[in-house]
Amino acid sequence: MSYEIISNTGSRSFPDGDTFLDNAQAGADVAIYLGGASGEDASRKAVLIELDLECLGEHTGENKGDEGSNCVGFARYRNGNDDPSQLIELVRQPKTNEEAIATAVEVLENAGFDVVVCSDQKGRIIDRLVRPKYNAALRFLDEGLATADDMDLTCRLGLGYPVGPVERVIRGDLARHHDISVNLFYETGAAGYAPARRAVVAKRRSAE
Amino acid sequence: MTKNIQTVAVCGAGGTMGAGIAIVAARAGYTTIAYDMQEDALQHSYEQTEAFFNKSVERGKMSELERDAALANLSSTTSLEGLAKADLIIEAIFESLDVKRDLFGKLDKICPDHTIFASNTSTLSITEIASGLGRQDKVVGIHFCLPAQLMKLIEMSPGENTSEETFQKAWAWAEEAGQTPVKTQDKPGFILNALLVPFNNDVIRAIEAGVAEPADIDKAIKSGLGYRMGPCELLDLIGLDTQIRLCEAFYPITLDPRASAPPLLRRMVAAGKLGRKSGCGFYDYHQDAMFGG
Ligand SMILES: NC(=O)c1ccc[n+]([C@@H]2O[C@H](COP(=O)([O-])OP(=O)(O)OC[C@H]3O[C@@H](n4cnc5c(N)ncnc54)[C@H](O)[C@@H]3O)[C@@H](O)[C@H]2O)c1
């Protein structure tokens, strides 16, 4: 299954030089929009739209839970501004056609990625789950629960994480963590997404 | 200068954690007294300990001589008076404030002044366990991870009245016993459970909200973050009933909404889906198929 990149205005999933960009073919069955652009094309088996913090519905429009077409959202997971991982989160709507999803999975798995499917909700899978944990770890640090190194060591030794939460969130850039958290907080109102003080500080300093 | 730790007593040594902690102490060369109120549980633990050490020899992790020495360090008793010579007592009995206070209260009258009392509690406050006890300065939290005989991490917490000397002695003992201690305040869940329990609840809420299937969540977390185990696999291993118990211990104290038991968790437990132990949780262990939340 081949793919064509219709538009690329700067992709977080496939930065310049990524081999995925090199292997695209004009006129392929699958159309891909990278970097915030989007379009519709019913003649394609699937239209893949790269997402950042936004939902797929912002590109396609929504209709009382009946929305869905051959458009599939996706994002290659990055820990903030860290290098992209091998994971791609595919985003579907309630009525997205199943063939489009299967096609998207096939194209991306053939390109060597691990692919998971999730619904069109803010934060998709990983950011939805890890951002509250990073905020909690940053708050614990302020409150003196333990040192950052001891929190990280606890997670590595006790839970088998390759990297502890404090190290990970700082490595991914606290200002980016702030932006992701604020985005989720705005949508959900859940206190766990309220960015921790250290993230707010980093954001303000980055804006200076 | 007070006496160094030579003799360690483990209370609840007939249980899962106590048996593992006794292995850690005996293996490190301490005279180790395994205490439990149940004779048959102690016997069972001893047999498991022998089998564990034999496996360690087979795998080349210890010599036969070291195994024999470790076993020789171990003795068992169902009598509290048998703990009178302990320099360090580590309790891993039932997770109940009353039961733990009662045990330490009795031991306070039996043990010499220098004896340190340590609790392996996962959810209770070290300060509350020590409250009312004559030797509050000698009570410390020593939280091992399951399985204690394999996991190096120990979360070590001083209570409000724990002396620095007690904390340092317990810390030195943990290091001498080959463990890796980290210091944490006496707060609900210490570090590990304070981060893990709400995170696991967030996972359950995401499944309930239709974000993704358990298998996709596990795959995402393992691939995207490199965790060894997906959270749904881990929850099935911990037991969903245990997850509820953890929530019920933490939420009333912290009032953190992330620590409250999600409705799906309660429904699954009510439906007998406890995880691996019941053959079905987020995954079905009979057919190795996935159970959608
Ligand atoms: N299981 C875990 O994953 C885990 C991890 C870390 C800490 N902990 C903590 O360790 C402690 C023990 O947990 P467990 O899972 O090993 O429990 P368990 O039920 O396997 O074992 C408890 C043992 O304590 C004995 N016991 C109970 N009350 C007693 C008393 N008054 N006097 C003497 N013996 C008594 C019981 O006979 C039993 O053998 C708890 O405080 C728990 O929170 C458990």
Maximal C-alpha separation, chain A: 58
- For residue B1, what pLDDT is reported? 36
The residue range of the domain holding B11 is 7-183
CA–CA distance, A9 with A22 (Å, rounded to integer): 15
pLDDT band, very low/low/confident/very high, at A67 (cuts 50, 70, 90): very high
Same-domain pairing of B43 and B154: yes
Number of domains observed in the structure of chain B: 2
Q: Do residues B209 and B163 both lie within one domain?
A: no
> B247: CA distance to ligand 1 center in Å?
18
* pLDDT recorded at residue B288: 53
Q: Domain holding B140: CATH number?
A: 3.40.50.720
Q: Which of A143, A154, A188 to mutate to test the interface with B (most CBs of B within 10 A)?
A: A154
Nearest-by-Cβ selection for A85 from B183, B223, B227: B223
Output the furthest CA–CA distance in chain B (Å, rounded). Answer: 61
Per the domain annotation, does B292 fall within a domain? no
- One domain, residues B223 and B148: no
Shared domain check, B168 and B75: yes
Inspect the interface and report whether the beta carbons of A151 and B191 lie closer than 8 Å. Answer: yes
Q: How far is A117 from chain B (nearest CA, A)?
A: 7
Q: With an 8 Å Cβ cutoff, are A144 and B203 in contact?
A: no
* Residue at a domain's end among B183, B205, B222: B183
Q: B105 and B240 in one domain?
A: no
**SS3 for B188?**
coil
pLDDT for the residue A1: 83
The set of catalytic residues of B is 122, 143, 155, 193
* Residuewise pLDDT in 10s, chain B (293 residues): 345 899 999 999 999 999 999 999 999 999 999 999 999 999 999 999 999 999 999 999 999 999 999 999 999 999 999 999 999 999 999 999 999 999 999 999 999 999 999 999 999 999 999 999 999 999 999 999 999 999 999 999 999 999 999 999 999 999 999 999 999 999 999 999 999 999 999 999 999 999 999 999 999 999 999 999 999 999 999 999 999 999 999 999 999 999 999 999 999 999 999 999 999 999 999 865 554 43
Using the 3D structure, point to which of B183, B218, B246 is the last residue of a domain. B183
Q: Is residue B2 part of a domain?
A: no
- pLDDT for B4: 87
Residues forming CATH 3.30.750 domain(s) in chain A? 3-119
Residues B165 and B267 placed together within one structural domain of the fold:
no
Are residues B191 and A79, on separate chains, in Cβ contact within 8 Å? no
Residues of A in Cβ contact (< 8 Å) with B171: none
B16 lines ligand 1 (CB under 6 A): yes
CA angle B125, B131, B135 (to 5 degrees): 115
Q: Is B199 in the pocket of ligand 1 (CB under 6 A)?
A: no
Compute, in angstroms, the gap from residue B104 CA to the centroid of ligand 1: 14
Q: How confident is the model over A155-207, as pLDDT tens digits?
A: 999 999 999 999 999 999 999 999 999 999 999 999 999 999 999 999 999 98
B227 contacts A119? CB cut-off 8 A:
no
Do B46 and B167 lie in a common domain?
Answer: yes
Residue of B225, B233, B256 to mutate for A, most A C-beta atoms under 10 A: B225
| Residue B285 forms part of a structural domain | no
SS3 call for B116:
strand
- Residues B58-92 as b/e (b if ≥16 CB within 10 A, e otherwise) read eeeebeeeebeebeebbebbeebebbeebbbbbbb
Contact A116, B216 (CB under 8 A): yes
CATH number of A3-119: 3.30.750
Q: Sheet holding A3-8: strands in order across?
A: A3-8, A30-34, A46-50, A71-78, A84-92, A114-119
Q: Which of B182, B185, B224 is facing A153, going by the closest CB pair?
A: B182
B291 in a structural domain:
no
Q: Which CATH code fits A126-202?
A: 1.10.1040.50
Query: Token digits for B220?
Result: 């995402």
pLDDT in the model for residue A208: 75
The pLDDT of residue B3 is 58
pLDDT (mean) for A100-104: 98
Please check whether residues B257 and B160 belong to one and the same domain: no
| Domain end call among B162, B183, B204 | B183
**A108 CB within 8 Å of a chain B CB:** no
Domain with CATH 1.10.1040.50 in chain A: 126-202
| Rounded Cα distance, B20 and A143, in Å | 32
- Are residues B66 and B168 located together in one domain of the fold? yes
